[in-house]
């Protein structure tokens, strides 16, 4: 049994008190992963941005809204976790200044000055202790393997799960999984529930006790 922290859904970056930037992440893949992990006997904590779905009742759910809130909740839960599955799609950018109230429509152009948000996955990887593992999702146009491999190395992940745009707001997905050496360790397509069951089995095999004994995973501090 492992204690697994799963990040889920989108986050919001507010332009003013009414409007915000976000994305089409639905949380469905995270819900499927949580269901599969629970069925495999694991304990699950979900840190989720705003979604319109329900997570398994047996999972502990921590709702958040912004990327900063997601990171804070994950850092609070990280010490008790054996591993992290980062399936969320946090906003990568946020307005430099959030306007109070509602920006009035004037008929003129509105220019937004954006800055990067904190990188949740990279921060969690830096804070992870020896023995903790980290699996991250990477949405890449065309499921570009080169970008996926670059992310697994740069962010010090144990595995990266690469998927493509059609997975958004869909009940189906197709994934390929890469390790820090750049090798594809498996691929699968189908319903998110079926793919989630396969992913949990793969994570257990490679990053569970048996996989760790064989040296799999990214070295931690």
Would you give the distance in Å from CA 173 to the centre of its chain? 15
- What share of residues in the chain are helix, strand, coil (percent, to 5)? 30, 25, 40
From the list 21, 22, 23, 187, the catalytic residue is 23
Q: CB neighbours (10 Å) of residue 138?
A: 24
A 10 A CB-CB count for 205 gives 14
Enter the DSSP assignment of 12: -
Annotated catalytic, 23?
Answer: yes
The whole-angstrom distance between residue 121's C-alpha and the CA centroid of its chain comes to 7
Q: 90 and 23 in contact (C-beta within 8 Å)?
A: no
Dihedral sign for Cα atoms in the order 37, 189, 156, 115: negative
Largest CA distance in the chain: 63
Classify residue 204 by its DSSP letter: H
Cα(64)–Cα(201) distance, rounded to whole angstroms? 28
Catalytically active residues are 23
């Amino acid at each position: 049994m492992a204690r697994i922290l799963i990040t889920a859904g989108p986050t919001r970056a507010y332009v003013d008190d009414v409007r915000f930037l976000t994305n089409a992440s639905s949380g469905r893949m995270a819900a499927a992963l949580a269901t599969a992990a629970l069925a495999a006997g694991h304990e699950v904590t979900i840190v989720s941005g705003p979604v319109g779905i329900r997570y398994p009742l047996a999972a502990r759910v921590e709702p958040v809204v912004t990327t900063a809130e997601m990171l804070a909740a994950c850092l609070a839960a990280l010490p008790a976790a054996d591993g992290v599955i980062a399936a969320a799609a946090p906003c990568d950018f946020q307005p430099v200044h959030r306007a109070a109230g509602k920006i009035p429509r004037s008929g003129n152009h509105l220019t937004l000055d954006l800055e990067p948000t904190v990188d949740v996955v990279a921060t969690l990887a830096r804070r992870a202790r020896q023995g903790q593992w980290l699996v991250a999702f990477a949405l890449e146009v065309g499921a570009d393997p080169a970008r996926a491999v670059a992310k697994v190395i740069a962010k010090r992940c144990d595995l990266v799960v690469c998927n493509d745009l059609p997975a958004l707001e869909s009940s189906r997905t197709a994934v390929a999984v890469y390790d820090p050496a750049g090798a594809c360790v498996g691929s699968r397509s189908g319903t998110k529930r079926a793919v989630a069951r396969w992913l949990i089995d793969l994570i257990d095999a490679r990053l569970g006790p048996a996989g760790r004994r064989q040296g799999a995973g990214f070295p931690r501090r």
